[in-house]
Amino acid sequence: MGSTRSDYPSLNLDLNVGSLPFPVDSPKAVLAMESKHVDKKVSIKDEKAIKALEAELVLATEENKKLNEVLAATIAGYSELRNQLIELMSTTSPEEGSRSQSPPGKRKSERLDANMESTSSEGSCKRVRDDCKPKVWKLHVRSNPSDTCLVVRDGYQWRKYGQKVTRDNPCPRAYFRCSFAPSCPVKKKVQRSAEDTSILVATYEGEHNHDPHSQPGAPSLRPNTAALDLKSPGSKSEMVSQEFHRSLVERMAFSLSEDPAFKAALATAITGRMLPLRTS
């Protein structure tokens, strides 16, 4: 995933500055068209007007080019800032270290998973894990706290194979396997957040090797429920892709808004930007 301009559809602006009387691609095209259509009886006055228009077009083209460069620089800067933020979030700051210090008895693998949570929601995960464990990422979904069923509707069909009450959370954790294909390696753990019981935390391990909608009797995605389409990117269906993109953005936004480290980093960044302005 490169940070090219095509990665930012919303930023794909049409920068054809200056109003042109007809759609053209370049000054050469203008000249070609003009040489075709210009009447021999064209007066000197008209020729001057044409030259003026040509000059205006060249200026507009130049301006367009400059604006494109500015846009590219802006996107590059955005990318760099985003990477810095991700890096900042993934590295353990002293106070975050004490916060994320795992309680005694917490397993190493789980701590790794917890570490992954901050980065896995972003595709450009910088940190590469040493082992060859399947991809793990977490999903926070709001649901009715009075609803006791640990079901996250994500378009796939799951088969529950266990439930446990964990030490650090009074709410039970449910274990699911993808029930569509026996060969599908994906597993899912669902548990209510200890802090906010209205939030269901679903931990996915691995990637589906099948289409979520290919299965018969797949549950329809109801509104007003924890419904998300988690189909892998790069699918053929544009609708699904858009849905996936939307859910990804929602997930990222939610994860970031819930992350105290992000809030702290944001506050630091804002303070850092404001203080020099005040002191100067």
Partner DNA sequence: CGATTTTGACCAGCGC
Partner DNA sequence: GCGCTGGTCAAAATCG
Please, which of residues 174-203 interact with DNA by CB under 7 A?
174-175, 179, 187, 189
Instruction: Name the residue type at position 202.
Output: A
> Strands, E, within 126-247: which ranges?
136-142, 158-165, 172-178, 187-192, 199-205
Q: Report, in Å, the least distance between residue 159 CB and DNA.
A: 4
4 scored as a contact of DNA (CB under 7 A): no
210 scored as a contact of DNA (CB under 7 A): no
Q: Report, in Å, the least distance between residue 113 CB and DNA.
A: 7
Which CB, 167 or 273, lies closer to DNA? 167
Among 157, 151, 147, residue whose Cα is nearest residue 190: 151
Which CB, 127 or 187, lies closer to DNA? 187
78 scored as a contact of DNA (CB under 7 A): no
Binding mask 102-141 for DNA (x = CB under 7 A): --xx-xxxx-------------------------------
Contact criterion met (CB below 8 Å) for 200 and 150: yes
Give the whole-angstrom CA distance, residue 136 versus residue 153: 18
34 scored as a contact of DNA (CB under 7 A): no
Q: How far is CA 202 from the centre of its chain?
A: 18
Among 43, 168, 180, residue whose Cα is nearest residue 114: 168
Q: Using CB under 7 A as the criterion, which residues of the chain lie in contact with DNA when the complex forms?
A: 104-105, 107-110, 157-164, 166-168, 173-175, 179, 187, 189
